Structure 1
């Protein structure tokens, strides 16, 4: 993961996922988790981007 991806995954998790994965199911899941709570969105963004 690049430094930009790490920073975006902390500040705006869906944007960090979008830059690595594009529009897809991972992006939609990230949006839903971020709306539910910021921390689940961050955890999921790090999980998706580390794959």
Structure 2
């Protein structure tokens, strides 16, 4: 019985951490894409 409770707790912890990471990446991805786009545009501008 205790093992079941432990497994449920672990699953919930993993789920909440996964949700946090998911939300964080949803916020982070646009920032990264804009930075990459800026670098890409600058490199194109420099080369030609």
TM norm. shorter chain > 0.5: no
Question: Of Structure 1 and Structure 2, which has the larger fraction of its residues in helix?
Answer: 2
TM-score normalised by structure 2 residue count: 0.31
Higher RCO (C-alpha 8 Å, min separation 6): 1
Structure number, greater radius of gyration = 2
TM-score normalised by structure 1 residue count: 0.29
